[in-house]
Amino acid sequence: MRAVVCTRYGAPEVLQLADLPKPTPTSNEVRIKIFATAVTASDCIVRAFIVPLRLKLVMGAVLGFTKPRNPILGLVLAGEVESVGRDVVQFKPGNQVYAFTAFRFGAYAEYKCLPEKAILALKPSNVTYEEAAAVPYGGLLALYFLKKANIQGRQHVLVYGASGAIWYVCSTARKVLWGGSHRSVQHPESESREVPRSRRGDRLHPRGFHRERGPL
């Protein structure tokens, strides 16, 4: 199979296209033929090993010291189940799925094996593979922080940096799960300035200067 491998930590040029053996699923795994993935902020952080000095030893032990221990990066994917292990019961060949690989990485490839119990779900039929692959990263982070903030029903939420996947899921989930309204703050020169306007935000505040409160 073809895959993009990270030969060492560094700039995007360290990523190279390679031919690798097709993975074989174990008894509790499914093998997914990947049709879509995404480059997330975390992928870029891992590829460049952008880690605070105090965490370099720990993260080096987890990820690898001079290069990623798993050379195939990629955290999110969408595709079709091609084969399953003998103990798998929730999925079958032909299922359209999407997934978050976490520290398993591996989504920058044509195929990926994941345990049946991984963050893996059937793709809704009215969602494209590209749309499905864009959901897990922003969705999981948004829900984590919404729950951590202990949002209560009908509370108002201010989102700073309103143009990415986390903001979109945050605003949507907040309306569906908690009600209330949200206001979004975004840099006025952002190329994606129109994105929040098209995502039904209650109010968009381009970042600027408040004459009484100073910089926003």
- What angle, rounded to 10 degrees, do the helices at 135-148 and 165-173 form? 60
The parent domain of residue 148 ranges over: 137-215
- Among 133, 161, 187, the domain boundary falls at 133
- Among 98, 133, 168, the domain boundary falls at 133
- Among 87, 104, 133, the domain boundary falls at 133
Divide the 216 residues of the chain into consecutive groups of 10 and give the mean pLDDT of each group. Answer: 96 96 97 96 94 91 93 97 97 98 96 97 96 90 81 70 68 60 51 50 48 40
Q: Are residues 129 and 141 in the same domain?
A: no
SS3 labels along 179-214: CCCEEEEECCCCCCCHHHHCCCCCEEEECCEECCCE
Residue 179 and residue 197: Cα distance in Å, rounded?
A: 19
Q: Are residues 25 and 126 in the same domain?
A: yes
Domain count of the chain? 2
CB 6 within 8 A of CB 106: no
Complete DSSP assignment for 14-31 = GEEEEE-PPP---TTEEE
